[in-house]
Amino acid sequence: MAIGQQSQIVDSRGRHLRVVARSDAYENTLTGHGTDRDKTSSTRIKPVSPSTDRQTWEDIYHGDDLGARMVDELVDEMLRRWIRLNVTMRDDADSQENVEAASEMMQALDELDAPEKLSEALTWAQVFGGSLIFIGADDGGGPDSMSQPLRENAIRSIKFLDVYDRWDVDIASEYGDPLQPKYGQPETYRLRSSGSVTGAANMIDQVVHETRMLRFDGVRVNKRRLLRNGGWHDPAYVRVEKVLQDFGLSWSSASHLLADFAPMVFTSPGLSDTLALDGAGVVMERLLQMDLCRSTVRMVPIDEGESLERKATPVTGMPNLLALFILRMCAAARMPVTKLFGQSPAGLNTTAEGDLSFWYDRVEGRQKTDLRKPLMYLIKLLWLAKDGPTNGVEPKSWSMDFEKLWQLSQVEETQARKTQSETDNNYIDTGVVTPEEIAQSRFGGDRYSFETQLDQEMREAEAEAEPEPEPEPAPMMQPLDEFYRKVGAQPELPLDQPPPTPVPSAGDDRA
């Protein structure tokens, strides 16, 4: 329908509406800007195909050093400083018992190779979009009960942790009750193990309930893309694949340019005539002889009128251009230059403190979103295991925190403790905290801590305790006696009491 013609749409009075076109951008019919002749008008975001090309992601991780570093550096930082546990076994437990329980739990995690298994699972989650850790928990049910929920209160022991990437498992079933919080999420997985011999057929091993698994996901996607991906998230390489290709091509082109940096230029009178008479073979033989002499005797024989010289290839602006490719690569990877390339280019924040602060903030965020929940679940199961650190008794309260990634120098640590000590003294003087709380908070654990923990039980007990009775008021006579003593007068006595015998003073002749 042409602009200005009446449409079939009518308003409430039956009048036909006219078609009106509106533009929200500039166009230039002479230059073609903003019209169909504009080259940029055809630019579109390339549709992203489902992330089911396993071989591509595997090749990037194993064959591209930057692609592998993007994943490995993030995972290594997430687990570099590991965790610390704060445990309170029961109300009457002393600090030593709590520290020992936390230490035994850390030892149990080490015996299961938990840091290594978590590192592997997080790596495959980034590379392939998802991974699982199968918890080898013995709850007395046997192999046939693997498809049933884990009986947490019946766990005898946790024997091992086994890692599977998303291509090693199939989603066997999903939660189907829309009124439940896990609706649409996987309920059971089917583990697939390929034979150790190359080319061996896959063998279906076991259907396992999701409560026996720790799941790790890649890049967040919506439900529609999750469905296209077979129930899994995107690999980290989906968004950066094109940038990786461009970066690799730019450096490869630079290396080709360096290989042909200063070519030799040979001029000879009548060269074009010789080539026209099918003398290419003669010319090639002449060039080979010249190159042989240059390599062996370091001299080049030339005839009259001939010349041989090097012509340098101009590379003006090449370093700046490559630096921009570096920044583009870092932006795509969401990593500072110091972490992705190991060194800051000149002029780009040589101290790198701001970059590292941003980087550690990102890593701490990923620890909370990707690692905290599955790790807390694993620790809980270890508490409940009968042969676990506490023989199946879960502490009254416990918490897990990731160690700080930013480490202070010795001088900075000393200054920080001095400042904290001054702050603690102010709190004690004003009655905010007690010396016992400060001592326990700073030195009660296995290392010095800047975090202050209040003794809530002591404070509640003091609040509930009956107040001390106020002392009875002294007899009225006592204040009067004090008054008479000060003014040097004698108090009046009752009539039924004789006056006191005066005590002679020193030098009194009447004595």
**pLDDT per residue as tens, the chain (511 positions):** 555 555 566 666 777 666 666 666 777 778 877 777 777 777 777 777 777 889 999 999 999 999 999 999 999 999 999 999 989 888 777 778 888 999 999 999 999 999 999 999 999 999 999 999 999 999 988 878 899 999 999 999 999 999 999 999 999 999 999 999 999 999 999 998 655 444 444 445 789 999 999 999 999 999 999 999 999 999 999 999 999 999 998 888 888 777 777 777 878 787 777 777 777 787 788 788 887 887 887 887 877 877 877 777 777 788 888 889 899 999 999 999 888 988 765 554 455 677 888 899 999 999 999 999 999 999 999 999 999 999 999 999 999 999 988 877 778 788 888 898 989 888 888 888 888 888 888 887 667 788 888 877 777 777 777 666 666 665 555 555 665 566 565 555 555 556 566 656 555 555 4
- Tokens coding 115: 């840091």
Q: What's 371's DSSP letter?
A: I
- Cross-strand partners of 189: 171, 208
Quick check: 85 and 400 in contact, CB under 8 A?
Answer: yes
Q: What are phi and psi of 234, to 5 degrees?
A: -85, 150
| Within a domain: 456 | yes
| Within a domain: 468 | no
The residue with tokens 């409940």 is 384
Q: Give how far Cα 382 sits from Cα of 95, 102, 162, Å.
A: 21, 12, 16
3 state SS of 351: coil
d(CA 160, CA 382) in angstroms, rounded, equals 12
**Angle separating helix axes 435-443 and 410-429, nearest 10 degrees:** 160
- N-term to C-term CA, the chain: 140
User: Residue 348's pLDDT is what?
Assistant: 47
Quick check: 82 and 110 in contact, CB under 8 A?
Answer: no
Using the CB atoms, write b or e for 37-64: b if 16+ within 10 Å: eeeeeeeeeeeeeebeeeeebbebbeeb
Q: How many domains does the chain have?
A: 1
Q: Which domain holds residue 419?
A: 408-463
Dihedral sign (CA 242, 243, 247, 250): positive
| Within a domain: 453 | yes
| Within a domain: 423 | yes
Q: Give how far Cα 187 sits from Cα of 134, 376, 377, Å.
A: 14, 20, 17
3 state SS of 315: coil
| Within a domain: 90 | no
Quick check: 187 and 209 in contact, CB under 8 A?
Answer: yes
Three-class secondary structure assignment of 119-175: HHHHHHHHHHCEEEEEEEEECCCCHHHCCCCCCHHHCCEEEEEEEEEHHHEEEEEEC
Other CB atoms within 10 A of residue 511 CB: 9
Element (H, E) at 228: helix 223-228
User: Residue 151's pLDDT is what?
Assistant: 94
Element (H, E) at 169: strand 169-174
| Within a domain: 178 | no
The residue with tokens 């080539």 is 275
| Within a domain: 381 | no
d(CA 105, CA 82) in angstroms, rounded, equals 13
Report which of 243, 175, 159, 165 is spatially closest to residue 209, judged by C-alpha positions: 175
d(CA 125, CA 149) in angstroms, rounded, equals 24
| Within a domain: 448 | yes
User: Residue 31's pLDDT is what?
Assistant: 80
Q: What DSSP string runs through 248-309? A: HHHHHHHHHHHHTSS-EEEE-TTHHHHHHTT-HHHHHHHHHHHHHHHHHTS-----TT-EEE
